[in-house]
Amino acid sequence: RDISKMIYLLHRDDIYVVARIALFCDIILAKKRPDLAIQSKSGKGVWKQKGKIRWVDPSLETVQKYNLDLVTELCDLGVDEIQFDYLRFPAMGNVKDAKYSFDEANIEKHTIITSFLKRAYELTRRKKVLLSIDVYAITAWQRKEDEKITGQRIQDLARYADIISPMLYPSHFYGRFEGKKNPADHPYYFVSQGCKRTRIAT
């Protein structure tokens, strides 16, 4: 409950402090401010991922500023690093029913995600705090269909992050992928390829 005291005690014991922010998959904000949540194209109000309210609209300036304010507060509290998770648009559930505040026909999702990250990176650089990001490992394959859904274009994101953590779960490579009928049966291949491709892409 006393974050500044906790950070002080951790630093006293030479512990490196990383603050994780689950950016746009924000259940609390989505419920308290449904006007900031992703809306349903079918007119059902707030869009839900598998029946539950989870996401706010990454394209809204109010949502972005809210998260940038969190970054500022954490930097001022003295953390060593801030880690962004859910730096993306939703990729599960009926995403075709998700309605955003921007024109998807003329604006690509990756421009919104990258633009936000650039703002955050400029902020953390001024505060002398490292910024790390989690990305779907599949972004290292740089497939347009994945980029279109998530908004994660790894080669662009790499310009505005100190650390990138690709989430290399072989079980998350669905269906036949890279000639492997069941990717989960080939953990070494996907972890090694994911690391290599991430290095090349960034």
At 85-104, the pLDDT tens digits run: 999 999 999 999 999 999 99
Helix (H, G, I), strand (E, B) or coil at 158: helix
Reported as a pLDDT band with limits 50, 70 and 90, residue 75 is very high
Is the pLDDT confidence value at 1 over 90?
Answer: no
Tokens of 134: 């989690």
What is the arithmetic mean of pLDDT over 154-168? 95
Percentage of the residues of the chain whose pLDDT score is greater than 90? 87
Reported as a pLDDT band with limits 50, 70 and 90, residue 21 is very high
Is the pLDDT confidence value at 172 over 90?
Answer: no
Strands 98-99 and 39-40: antiparallel
Reported as a pLDDT band with limits 50, 70 and 90, residue 171 is confident
Percentage of the residues of the chain whose pLDDT score is greater than 70? 100
What is the C-alpha separation between 67 and 171, in angstroms, rounded? Answer: 30
Reported as a pLDDT band with limits 50, 70 and 90, residue 58 is very high
Burial of 173 (0-12, 13-18, 19+ CB in 10 A): buried
pLDDT computed for residue 33 by the predictor: 97
Is the pLDDT confidence value at 76 over 90?
Answer: yes
Tokens of 133: 């990001």
What is the C-alpha separation between 27 and 89, in angstroms, rounded? Answer: 14
Is the pLDDT confidence value at 175 over 90?
Answer: no
Contact criterion met (CB below 8 Å) for 95 and 149: yes
Q: Determine which of 25-34, 156-165, 193-202 has the lowest per-residue pLDDT on average.
A: 193-202
